[in-house]
Chains A and B, each alone.
Chain A
């Protein structure tokens, strides 16, 4: 087995710092890459060396495969860690890294491709005995076929684009008349936005919780599950806060989720860190597979805090064919963890607002961890997503975690860009959130839609 010596982190901001931190602790040489907009960034300063990729726009820098590979070649690194977003789920990039003789810190490109196609992923999971939402195994041919399927599946149904994502082009239908309209809307949206009019139907779960399982595919071929995360606190279908364990998951459901996630990983011969996302019906304590993410997730610290495992270290070791750095048969879960995504957006309507950071004071204390992408003097620009930092808090139980979280939020000062910290003060005071009985409709219920102003 080769000695692990160096790694290039093909990313920016908080996740680049996070990977560099672990790699440095492991004694590895680290290389950062950056765009012109990020020349003074923390991740650039903290790596052993850094290579400029190009101008600010992601397409000209962080997404420029040739530039990233050139950076790897010129610095003589052994491996590439893609972080999340950007090229992390590009099978082509993974192949290019491997073709260049480098170690790809991630799963096989084939696994990335298999899970990237929604219909394929669903069918693969179903064949592997993982529950999927009742739905069509193929795109619907016409209204007649759609109506027949809807009756078979049972209303309400969601019509979604086969090639789509991110909540775009999805509509819910509660009866045959609504289905006809939803089908037409979804098809034209799908054609318009994804240049592919194919749609499928799925049973729609109205009060669902988004619960995902962290898996690790070990170098010896075993797949293990490291607990679940509840990610139902969302705005615009994007996660804002996550916690582990999920307050909506009982012990039996937890076992079933873990087992299914392991089967999902085994079905694609998964290697490295991955996440199996599911929708849970809290009343029925049942679940269905939604999709699998073939990379490290933003919210991975929540799992790290309850297991004591460094997932980035595990990723790197597994990629080099080693054991994960901990005993997979002795994993212990302890306490409760909550992550809050601190975004450069206003706390009321969640609209983005970049800018120069004029003050940045992080909270400290027992169980508090901050993964920050910016400090005072840095500029949050409009070129990248608005995540400024992740505030992660651990406690002996959920009550202590929430208490520590409220204190940490109160002691976190950021001025300059818009900042959503006040939203978390609200969240932590929300009865529904405190009770732990919330679902993906929580943030919408916390907000009344904006009214048109006069004049």
Chain B
């Protein structure tokens, strides 16, 4: 699956809870939110708005709380 990075919601250093939206992808006219699978701190945002990403690409690196 291929998608565009529509919006980057978090930044490095942000604290997030499980279920928070990290990045929103766009594919086939749909907005697909990528959610935090656990609470933690954003160590790195690996993509920028407008990037084209494939399945398997790293979007955000989260450090566990």
Residues on A with beta carbons closer than 8 Å to the beta carbon of B35? 449
Question: Distance in Å from the Cβ of A102 to the closest Cβ of chain B?
Answer: 27
Q: Which residues of B contact A344 (CB under 8 A)?
A: 28
Size of the B side of the interface (Cβ < 8 Å), in residues, is 18
Residue interface mask A56-70, B partner, CB < 8 A = 1 = 001000000000000
Chain A residues whose C-beta falls within 8 Å of the C-beta of B63 in the assembled complex: none
Q: Is A192 an interface residue (CB 8 A)?
A: yes
Q: CA–CA, A452 to B36, complex, Å?
A: 10
A-B contact pairs, 8 of them (CB 8 A): A351-B32, A353-B1, A385-B30, A386-B28, A386-B29, A449-B19, A449-B37, A452-B38
Complex A-B, nearest 6 residue pairs according to Cβ-Cβ distance, in ascending order: A385-B29, A352-B28, A386-B28, A452-B37, A352-B27, A351-B1
Assembled-state Cα–Cα distance A450/B32 (Å):
14
B contact residues vs A (CB 8 Å cutoff) = 1-3, 7, 9, 19, 24, 27-33, 35, 37-38, 55
Chain B residue nearest to A354 (CB atoms) is B28
A238 within 8 A of B: yes
Name the prevailing secondary structure of the B interface residues: strand
How many positions in chain A have a CB within 8 Å of any CB in the partner chain?
23
Residues on A with C-beta less than 8 A from B27 are: 351-352, 382
Interface of A is mostly: loop
Option from A168, A382, A418 in Cβ contact (under 8 Å) with B24: A168
Cβ of A283 < 8 Å from any Cβ of B? no
Contacts of B3 in A (CB 8 A): 352
Residue from the set A192, A352, A386 with the largest chain B CB neighbour count within 10 Å: A352
Separation of A382 and B55 alpha carbons in the complex (Å): 15
Residues of A within 8 A of B31 (CB): 166, 168, 236
A-side interface residues toward B, CB under 8 Å? 58, 166, 168, 189, 192-193, 236, 238, 344, 351-354, 382-386, 418, 449-452
